[in-house]
Structure 1
Amino acid sequence: MATVHQPPNAPILVSFPDADALVVSLSAFLVKAQKDSIDKKGRFTIALSGGSLPKMLRGLIGNPAVKWNKWQVFYVDERVVSLDHPDSNHRACMEHLFSKVSIPEGNIHHIDTSLLDDLEELSDAYEKDLIREFAQKDSARFPVFDVILLGMGPDGHTASLFPGHELLLEEDRWVAYVNDSPKPPPKRITFTYPVINHAARIVFVAAGKEKATTLRSVLDVPEEGLPSARVKPVYPGQLYWFVDDAAAANVAYPRTPFKL
């Protein structure tokens, strides 16, 4: 049988027995990425999603290897609500992680809530925040995050990029707004694919049997209509899937043993 050669940045699928084991290994992965980035350039840039992801970062709490003062945190997407609103991704990350660690408040880049009534101004302001962090220090056309953490919905959406939406074709803007999200709340801002795909490491985190069918559609026979399947890092960036065995139950795609 002929050997199938995958490209050097083909997705790496790592599956764990349960969510707790996933949490431990994800924490170790992030600490290693942090060390590599700080050693190289003195800072660690990371973008987080909402949903169930903040709870999966609990392995970082109390970890002495985490250099919180070196972290610069952005949100991959955000709901256009106040920061204390139950739908806010920032609120979820504060509750489950940042309120329990010593990260400086100024290192967490949230939306400007004075602009909630103007989606275009809001997304432009967040893009300018990215420019301030990256354009002065990096020369790339798009920001190059050390890590972008993503989740995946049962419909295959990721960030606030939904099936069939015009933003799937956006090639220029760093941050765009959504005023017709199929999931409430309808108004959101989101990173676009050029930003996501230029990250050094993109990590999807998916747990639970409800993700099994969609994960198979993303990895085994990728459906271009699924936003999660359109995440394709620009070489030498690397895409990882950290999943539990329940989410990977229907997937034939080869697993890779976890190692740092």
Structure 2
Amino acid sequence: MTSSAHHPPSAPILISFDNSDVLVDSLAQFIVKSQKEAIDKKGKFTVALSGGSLPKMLRGLIDNPSVKWNKWHVFYVDERVVPLDHADSNHRACTEALFSKVPIPSDNVYTLDPELLNDLEELSDAYEKILIREFAQKDSARFPIFDLILLGMGPDGHTASLFPNHELLNEDDRWVAYVEDSPKPPPKRITLTFPVINHASRIVFVAVGKEKAEILKQILDSPETGLPSARVKPVYPGQLYWFVDEAAAAKADYPKTPFKL
């Protein structure tokens, strides 16, 4: 593993789009480029998805002939501890918005074990074991290195199931952890930890709408506040991107970068 001790994290790249439709198309192009580089390098593409509004922002991948679905290996950044077909399930949201409309092999989507929902410790350990199986023997890194992690951001600055002032913000050992007391329902969740998120090759936050403008300004202009989304700082040579619309970017003083592949 390359030492990152002498490489501070790269500054986030903020890309603002006129509207969410342009963002969706550009995000699909970005994902396809990330996919191509990963497949060329190692024959597969590892990606972790969030829930919330994110699954609907992936619609640019549907009917996209450049997507090699059989090479995708999809994990969840976080998941609600509910049955997989429950209305609160991130897997259900991703299935309805994307997987049901594309030819991805179901074995390539790694869900929670629905048999273990009554034991949070066992549930998170089982998901971590899946990651170990899929990553550990291939990477010499201490943590898995995803090709791409796609994140959303809540109005309180949370991302994944990592909430402001929660003890999990300081977790630096486990790959997967559980939450019993989420401030928003449902209370029980599992989540990837910051070390896993920050070891990804590329991380993209997607944020749209004027209700995200104030918190986006805080995260980009005053990251020292320590809000969870501001703690996403990829380990060198990883890179962090923000794909936002003009409404979300309206209050930030942070420099914008034009979109280019």
Deviations 1:153-210 (A, max 9, x none): 0000000000000000000000000000000000000000000000000100000000
Deviations 1:24-76 (A, max 9, x none): 00000000000000000100000000000000000000001000000000000
Q: CA deviation at 1:224?
A: 3.3
- Give the TM-score taking structure 2 as reference length: 0.96
Whole-Å separation in 2 of the counterparts to 1:65 and 1:125: 33
Q: CA deviation at 1:222?
A: 1.2
Q: CA deviation at 1:223?
A: 3.9
Match of 1:244 in 2: 245
**4+ runs of 1 displaced by more than 4 Å?**
none
Match of 2:143 in 1: 142
Counterpart check, 1:101 vs 2:102: yes
Q: What SS does the corresponding residue of 1:141 show, helix, strand or coil?
A: coil
Counterpart check, 1:72 vs 2:73: yes
Does structure 1 retain, via aligned residues, the 8 Å contact 2:9–2:234?
no
Q: What SS does the corresponding residue of 1:247 show, helix, strand or coil?
A: helix
Counterpart check, 1:18 vs 2:19: yes
1:140-179 to 2 correspondences below 5 Å: 140-179=141-180
Whole-Å separation in 1 of the counterparts to 2:259 and 2:224: 26
Instruction: Please list every run of 5 or more consecutive structure 1 residues that lacks an aligned counterpart in the other structure.
Output: 1-6
Whole-Å separation in 2 of the counterparts to 1:148 and 1:133: 16
Deviations 1:119-139 (A, max 9, x none): 000000000000010012111
AA matched with 1:180: D
1:107-126 to 2 correspondences below 5 Å: 107-126=108-127
Counterpart check, 1:234 vs 2:235: yes
Instruction: Please list every run of 5 or more consecutive structure 2 residues that lacks an aligned counterpart in the other structure.
Output: 1-7
Q: CA deviation at 1:225?
A: 3.0
Counterpart check, 1:212 vs 2:222: no
Whole-Å separation in 1 of the counterparts to 2:45 and 2:225: 31
Q: CA RMSD in A?
A: 0.8
Whole-Å separation in 2 of the counterparts to 1:150 and 1:230: 13
AA matched with 1:235: Y
Does structure 2 retain, via aligned residues, the 8 Å contact 1:224–1:230?
no
Whole-Å separation in 2 of the counterparts to 1:71 and 1:234: 23
Match of 1:199 in 2: 200
Q: What SS does the corresponding residue of 1:233 show, helix, strand or coil?
A: coil
Equivalent pairs, count = 254
Whole-Å separation in 1 of the counterparts to 2:131 and 2:240: 22
- Give the TM-score taking structure 1 as reference length: 0.97
Whole-Å separation in 2 of the counterparts to 1:104 and 1:53: 21
Does structure 1 retain, via aligned residues, the 8 Å contact 2:24–2:58?
yes
Does structure 1 retain, via aligned residues, the 8 Å contact 2:15–2:259?
yes
Q: What SS does the corresponding residue of 1:246 show, helix, strand or coil?
A: helix
Match of 1:92 in 2: 93
